[in-house]
Copies of this chain bind each other. A is one copy, B any other.
Amino acid sequence: MAAKRSGARIKRPQRISERLQPVQQPHSEPPLSRERIVATAVELLDAQGLDGLTMRRLADRLGSGVMSLYWHVNNKEDVFDLALDSVLEYRGQPQIVESQDWRGEVGHMLENWRACMLRHPWSASLLPRRALGPNMLSRLELLSKILSRAGVADADLNVAIWSLWNYVMGATITRASFDLSDDDRAAAQQRLARLSERYPTIERSRLLLDNDWDGAFRKGLDLLLDGLAPR
């Protein structure tokens, strides 16, 4: 352990060898910063999942001591909040053109939102449990604006937004979870086959193996948008 630590520390005195052969030194890290911490946390979450994020592992990856993190960040919850929101950025059209295509705009934003979360499968299940960060609020603001401009009455606006939120979140959380465990899914369907006398219908339709998630998502979304469309 002492050996490992001193190994990490020689980076300073070794200046000469650095000069002669720019060693690609893995531990010549830039100084700690909130941004670097968040970016690394996202990497770690992508690689190891929700349970894989540990203050100790995070510090390791950053080449710093554990407690150094706490200068830039309040606690682990904070790291989760920041990592989550950082993954939800949206660059839609900056100024909404007065387009007639509100359905297209809503669809685009929601599909993009879903895609962001699927790219970081830990994010979807985290989102409902945490306070909404600025990027998520921006998305809701945009959604709200589009729907309002499309003619949805103020009184119906919140219901519409939450219905869409509910649907997107449910679809994405489910898809992300099922995706994480392909083997489990096969195992589940096999278990089902063994119990086929108890669950004949879903066994026959191979419910647990059906994986046209994108199609199902789009279909359900269309139904909702049909219903929410101002008449």
A202 and B128: CB pair below 8 A? no
A162 at the interface (CB under 8 A from B): yes
Nearest CB on B from A57, distance (A): 19
Complex: A174 Cα to B165 Cα, angstroms: 9
A210 at the interface (CB under 8 A from B): yes
B177 and A128: CB pair below 8 A? yes
Given contact pairs A159-B219, A207-B158, A188 touches B140 in the complex (Cβ within 8 A): no
B165 and A170: CB pair below 8 A? yes
B contact residues around A129 at 8 Å (CB): 125, 177
B contact residues around A223 at 8 Å (CB): 163, 223-224, 226-228
B contact residues around A157 at 8 Å (CB): 205, 207
A207 and B144: CB pair below 8 A? yes
B contact residues around A208 at 8 Å (CB): 132
Nearest CB on B from A55, distance (A): 16
